[in-house]
Amino acid sequence: MHTGTNLIQFLADEHRRTASVCPDVQALLGQIAVSCKEISNAVNQGALSGVMGSLESENIQGETQKKLDVITNEIFLRINERSGQLAGMASEEMDDAYTIPDGYVRGKYLLVFDPLDGSSNVDVNISVGTIFSVLRYEGKASNPVAADFLQPGTRQVAAGYALYGSSTMLVLTTGHGVNGFSLDRNVGEFVLTHAGMTIPAETKEFAINASNQRFWEAPVQRYVSECVAGKTGPRGRDFNMRWVASMVAEVHRILIRGGIFMYPKDTKDPAKAGKLRLMYEANPMSLIVEQAGGLSSTGRQRILDIQPEGLHQRVPVILGSRQEVERVIGYHAEA
Ligand code: AHM
Ligand code: MG
């Protein structure tokens, strides 16, 4: 594979090479890519098109919605409901499963997404992204219900994210490694620029919202304090810390140069198992990270093995460079 291959060519090649990514999935991923191009435009226009700021409304998680949360959700629905490949959709911004309107062709797949992850950053012009996960619809009814979406992450057919940063990128896995495409705005295509992305096994960089430190459990306290202790501590080397508050940007950095990202279980709100959502944040990102040679865990369990219990279920997330994630899992086991 060489630079210059566009996404559609890449998917056709991948199908020939691996006998995966059947034409239906190729078509669906093509439409998801179109949705991400539209979102990239909307995010890029920023204040020029009056889309900054918040609405009065809250989503199912009780979070105030940004105008762009709602606009980007509608872009995803509008484009993908007509793909002909979907039986239903679900997203961070909708309480229940979304039914494909009457009159549109229904397909065999389910699409779960977070249309604008990290949207608290959008007003301050920091990178945001879109995360998506494709599942098979195994049911018989013409309209799937929430229970049809509740499949472990190991059953994802494809997963990916778009990052709206200094350039727009689409990073994708169909279970045969991870590849990154950059949006060439001159021709309006995603072009393969990062073939076969892999995460270095070791790292000197960690990402965690340190303002929650007093709520962390002992294994995470231990891991972070050992990193912070640097050269003279038990790790014998200095670490660097990053926190963008935008999971897509965080995972992308890890794919490029290694690192560990944690939004762990904490005691801040005992009713919540973690902050990030399993179906449309943790699962797709975990598949990407594992396919790039990294690991993803709650600290106690592989995320991709979790049997989901709800569309908006939250989980602790610890992902990134293999050796570091193994270390944090080890600290949980010892505790
Ligand atoms: P969102 O989907 O409402 O944008 O929330 C998810 C985001 C992640 O992108 C990021 O890792 C985390 O929430 C940031 O949380 P915090 O504001 O606690 O730093
Ligand atoms: Mg999100």
pLDDT tens digits, 148-187: 999 999 999 999 999 999 999 999 999 999 999 999 999 9
* Residue 3 burial class via C-beta count within 10 angstroms: exposed 0-12, middle 13-18, buried 19 and up: exposed
- Structural tokens at position 325: 């994630």
Average pLDDT on 274-283 reads 97
Residue 247 CB–ligand 1 contact under 6 Å: yes
Which residues in 117-140 are b (16+ Cβ under 10 Å) and which e?
bbbebbeeeebbbbbbbbbebeee
> CA–CA separation, 110 vs 98, rounded Å?
10
- Structural tokens at position 322: 């293999």
Domain architecture of the chain: domains with CATH = 7-194 (3.30.540.10), 205-334 (3.40.190.80)
- Structural tokens at position 108: 């065999």
Residue 5's SS3 state is coil
How does residue 3 score in pLDDT terms, banded at 50, 70 and 90?
A: low
Q: Mean pLDDT check: name the lowest of 55-69, 102-116, 133-147.
A: 55-69
Structure-token match 């509608």, residue found = 74
Q: What angle (nearest 5°) sits at the alpha carbon of residue 157, between those of residues 141 and 1?
A: 145
Residue nearest to atom 14 of ligand 1 (CA): 245
Pairing of strands 109-117, 86-91: parallel
Residue nearest to atom 7 of ligand 1 (CA): 118
